[in-house]
Amino acid sequence: MLYKFSVGDLIFKQSTTVIKTVDNARSINIEFNITTHKETDAEGVTTDETVDEQTLTITAEWTDVGFDSTLAQGEYYDITLQPSVKGTGMAFVTFARCRLTNYSVRSAQGEFVIVSVSLTKTGPLDSTPGTEPTKQKIKFGDVYLGDSATLTVGYDGNVNTLVIPTALGVLVRSTQAMGGGQLSISVSGYVKKNTRLELEQYLISLYTLLDPNPNTLTVEYGLTTYTVPNCYFSRGSAGSSGKVYDNFSLEFLKSAYS
């Protein structure tokens, strides 16, 4: 969906502090996109639909007296849009935690400049202004695994098959009969630092801080938590973004029956 307004006012806030008020911004475009995942039955009828991502993009331009350094590219702002004194079709609305992805001078004449901005927001549009988005975090013992992390799990049973020459088919020995069974737990983490050096130091320290003895994985999302006890750290690897941020993965093993 794309909404266009010829003129309107913009208010940039961080928490409750007004950073900048723009009167009579022009060429305001508000674009909202949503992607979903659908599950269908054998006859192709949709049985479930889940929202994967919601993305908002706001672009605008206005005339200013010089370049305003109070707005910082890459920072997050709560953006309020409202009708100008001239009146437009724009409704009074606030979008929380929009990131300023572009703030540049398009043209200049004398002391006046025409600036253009772009802001993006990913996530629900009704999130509370000034609040951080909830991130899932995981810790092993008392050590948090990056700034955020997610977990996936696989099961390996100790199922053996025996081929007996005179038999039709095979003889299957179950995990119950043979004993065993383990959970393979993969943690995918994300971490960001101020410099690449800090990032590299963090990853090296992380591997050495993880308990070589069995310990508990704790998964946190807001006020909701669950634990996976008696896990063993097996191995870890990092990406190669070459940036001040990186994704990494950690592997843990756990008996399926303890």
Q: What is the SS3 assignment for 203?
A: helix
Query: In 78-213, which ranges are continuous DSSP H helix?
Result: 175-178, 196-209
Tell me: the pLDDT tens digits for 120-143? 998 887 778 888 888 999 999 999
pLDDT at 88: 61
Q: Which neighbouring-strand residues pair with 147?
A: none
Cα(38)–Cα(48) distance, integer angstroms: 6
Cα(218)–Cα(117) distance, integer angstroms: 41
Tell me: the pLDDT tens digits for 48-98? 999 889 999 999 999 988 888 889 989 999 999 988 876 666 678 889 999
Cα(247)–Cα(234) distance, integer angstroms: 18
In the 8-state DSSP scheme, what is residue 209? H
pLDDT at 242: 79
Half-sphere exposure (CA, 13 Å, Cβ side) for 241? 15
Angle at CA 131, nearest 5°, toward 72 and 91?
A: 80
pLDDT at 106: 84
Per the rule left: phi > 0, alpha: psi between -120 and 50, beta: everything else, 213 is beta
pLDDT at 228: 95
Q: Which amino acid is at 13?
A: K
pTM for this entry: 0.77
pLDDT at 111: 81
Spans of the chain, pLDDT less than 70: 86-90
Query: 118, 113, 31, 115: which is closest to 74 by C-alpha?
Result: 118
* Lookup: tokens for 246: 């990186």
Query: 184, 181, 176, 178: which is closest to 157 by C-alpha?
Result: 181
* Lookup: tokens for 210: 């993880």
* Lookup: tokens for 212: 């070589």
* Domains of the chain and any CATH numbers: 2-122 (2.40.30), 136-255 (2.40.30.200)
